[in-house]
Structure 1
Amino acid sequence: MRYPPFGMAALSILVLTLAATSAFGSVEQLHYGSKVKLNDVDEGRALSPFNLAPEFAFWDTGIVGVFDREDVVYINIDPRSDKVSENDIRLTPFGELPAGSQVGKADNDIGKPLTKFGRGNVPRAELRFLDTGGDWAYNLDDPIYLNVVPGEINAGDIRISNYKGFPAGSRVNDTDPDNGLKTQTLPGMLSFFNSNGNINNAGYAIYDRGDIVYLDTQQPFYVVTINDVRLSM
């Protein structure tokens, strides 16, 4: 059988695409709040530590002095800063900018004041998981939350991964089925994939535009492994 000149090329591309998807998982699945699964394209990538551990903070756009559902929540990459800075990560949407997006230098929230959790009268906030299997161990099926007043899911908490149709970046409401459920301590730390490979004079990776932040949940640390969570897109 003879193929038209471009037909054979298109067929080859289709076969290669299907093979890559089958072997490594779909790139489209690598979104904010998704968990790393076996054979995902990023499994096994090297991760880099942050120079200083990032903190969770919010831009107080609602009732002043109170954390509420109107506030925009961020991973404050440089904990020395008290303002929204370039490449901070939004954990909740801001206008048309989705949860998981990096702050750009021309975005309207850059430079806005940040209130840090656990300071003064502001409650503490931790990344914790809902133990859906009841085995007291964190696994792929367990949803993750930014749990304000850790220990029990509260209205206003932020889903970091999806739960029963509620997407990552959504907030818990009073009537939601996960409100009031107990949470468990989540092992791990924040690290990042240095996508452009740039380093500083001391030889350490530089976090900047396009780098992906992960919740690194298990040993070996500083390697993307199954159950790790993608915190940016």
Structure 2
Amino acid sequence: MRNVADFSALESLPPKQQWLWLTEWLQGGVQPGRELLDYLQKRAQSPQFPQVLDGRIYELLWRSEVPELATLARELFPQGVVPLLSEQAQDYTPLLIHILSEQWQAADQWTRQQLCRLVGAEQRGWLYFSEVQSIPVLDLQTIDNLWRVHSLGQFGFRVQRRIWLGCGRNWEKFWRAIGWYADGTWPRYPQGFTWNVSAPAGHLPLSDQKRGVRVLEALLLHPAWAGGVN
């Protein structure tokens, strides 16, 4: 059994190793789970909170088969570890629940609907590229943070932006890099996509390419990412 002093070493591990470490730690039962909650509360005081590690800790506690731990986690962090901020008083709890429950396809569908809702295009069901800039910065950041923090840092628009820029804004290279295009074919929806964190980085959320790349390009160039990490 690991000891509490190992928490300092945990922060330096790659995300997937952190996951294994945390899983092993929680096998010890209620007391190790309480220690992990204490650790999460201490991390919550950091200006860098929340990170991927914090998301993983909360996910494990939220989904714990030990009722006491799951209840404590939900009481101490009733809205999760990602602040559910909105400029339009939108409720991001449904997206949080989909993601914490590992319902990635439902989270993807909800995200597309929410982007339309934010610009008043909910009935139409899709965006014009010219509407993307009117998506509130705070709301887009909240959506992106939920995806990133709870996916081992694999998913989200900011991740897609980084990959796209790394591909020199070349769309064909980008499609291949994120697993949306292979061997000359586009995958069929939904079975052709990978709905878990084993997917390539940037695989989710999806974007409809039937109307071209301008909507996704506008999302990846949105002011929400100004001054941040690519």
TM class by shorter chain equals: under 0.3
Please identify which structure carries the higher strand content: 1
Higher Rg: 1
* Higher-RCO chain (CA-CA 8 Å, sequence separation at least 6): 1
TM-score, structure 2 as length reference: 0.22
Please identify which structure carries the higher helix content: 2
TM-score, structure 1 as length reference: 0.22
